[in-house]
A = this chain, B = another copy of it.
Amino acid sequence: MTMQGRDVFVGAVGMVPFAKYRDRTLEDLGREAVRAALRDAVIPRASIEEAFCGSGYGGPLVGQRVLRDLGMTGMPVTNVENACSSGATALREAATAIALGRCESALAFGIDKLTQFGGGTVPLETTDLEVSQGMVMPALYAMRARRYMQETGATAADLARVVVKSRGNAALNPYAQYRKPTTVKEVLGSKMIADPFTLFMCSPTADGAAAAVLGTEQKMREWGIAKPILIAASILQSGLYKTGYRDMAHSELGTRSARLAYEEAGVGPEDIDVAEVHDAFAIAELMYYEAFGFCAEGEGVRFLESGGSSIRGTTAVNPSGGLLSRGHPIGPTGVAQVCEMVWHLRGEAGARQVPGAKVALTHCSGGGIAGLDHGASTVHVLIA
């Protein structure tokens, strides 16, 4: 099994290291990422037939604004917005267009500049009653963490250990925003944000851009791509908005998205060598270990502490440092995950390389409407 239609491959990737680029424009970051992807495999600009741009806050025609100044004009350009899943949704639409035969090649990129908001939490769903009453993302995830801790006996120190692993991986990743290794003590001692989360347990705001060039098998040959990466599954799902407090520690939406992705790709959790999951807050990574079947339910902390999710573990999770340390500029996050997985599947991830990685999973979860469940969950399965 695989996606419907023709096989679609990722042939080239590129990204801008995530950081706070107060002196650069959004368009400039986007151009750098697109140029990096095109240079990754010496792909002529004129051979790109369609483009999809994922952005949360880029404003009108952001994709066209980036591509115009690269001379990539006169083609279909579609901007998509799905909150934190914006970039991943752009990737899905690009893959769909190629699978259908609407085009032979497509560019998918993500872009956002969160420093335009001055810092702190970005504006999200201000017409949502819960959000306007204070149920912002850190508060939402903190409630989930409290419930998870009550159910499983996990402690704040366990959450800190997620961050310690994250910073350790990021130290090996030149694209990551926070690359200094840390300790449980330092994480717990950082500023309290929303109990039990300290500052280090929350993904930082950032600016950034990431790009991927997709194409058919024929295009991969034409471009001389040595190791094309198959998109074996591309899933997008919205929440059910039925979650009660007893389910807060379990991601129904994440579980469902992963199940559909496994079905589409014809693989199971045991086949996933490496994954980039949406660790927007430290608790999320533990919950997603379980939701995606990397370990049994309630075993997240044990899985982490056994080294199962480390770079040399059974399922390496967030070798890039994830959202917690690579950074989370919203739009580009899902595409940056794909960049990271492509590098691992090619064996080009340098010091953080997951040995022998053949099957990879990426996951984003966009929005937190109605306090509990999420708006747009995406899961991609990539095969070397």
Taking Cβ atoms with an 8 Å cutoff, the residues of A that contact B are 4-5, 25-27, 56, 59-62, 64-65, 67-68, 73-83, 89, 92-93, 96-97, 99-102, 123-128, 235-242, 256, 366-367, 369-370, 375-376
Contact = CB atoms under 8 A, between A and B. Distances in A.
Contacts of A369: 61, 64-65, 68
Contacts of A89: 78
Nearest to A93: B93
Given A60-B367, A74-B238, A78-B89, 7 more contacts: A59-B123, A67-B238, A68-B370, A75-B238, A76-B235, A78-B82, A93-B96
Please name the 4 residue pairs, one residue from A and one from B, whose CB atoms are nearest each other, closest first: A76-B236, A100-B100, A64-B375, A61-B375
B59 A367 contact: no
A100 B68 CA distance: 29
Nearest to A62: B81
Contact of A102 (B4, B76, B370): B4
A61 B89 CA distance: 12
Contacts of A68: 238-239, 241, 369-370
Contacts of A236: 76-78
Contact of A83 (B26, B60, B73, B238): B60
A65 B240 CA distance: 12
Most buried by B among A61, A67, A74, A376: A61
A82 B61 CA distance: 6
A26 B128 CA distance: 12
A294 to B, nearest CB: 23
B101 A4 contact: yes
Contact of A238 (B60, B76, B81): B76
Contacts of A125: 59-61, 65
A254 to B, nearest CB: 13
Given A78-B89, A238-B73, A241-B73, A367 B61 contact: yes
B241 A376 contact: no
B5 A101 contact: yes
Nearest to A99: B100
A64 B238 contact: yes
A273 to B, nearest CB: 26
A79 B77 contact: no
Contact of A78 (B56, B60, B80, B123): B80
A129 to B, nearest CB: 11
Contacts of A73: 238-242
Most buried by B among A123, A237, A242: A237
Given A56-B60, A73-B241, A89-B78, A65 B101 contact: no
A296 to B, nearest CB: 25
Contacts of A366: 61
Contacts of A97: 96
A83 B61 contact: yes
A241 B239 CA distance: 41
Contacts of A74: 237-240, 256
Most buried by B among A60, A83, A125, A367: A60
B102 A81 contact: no
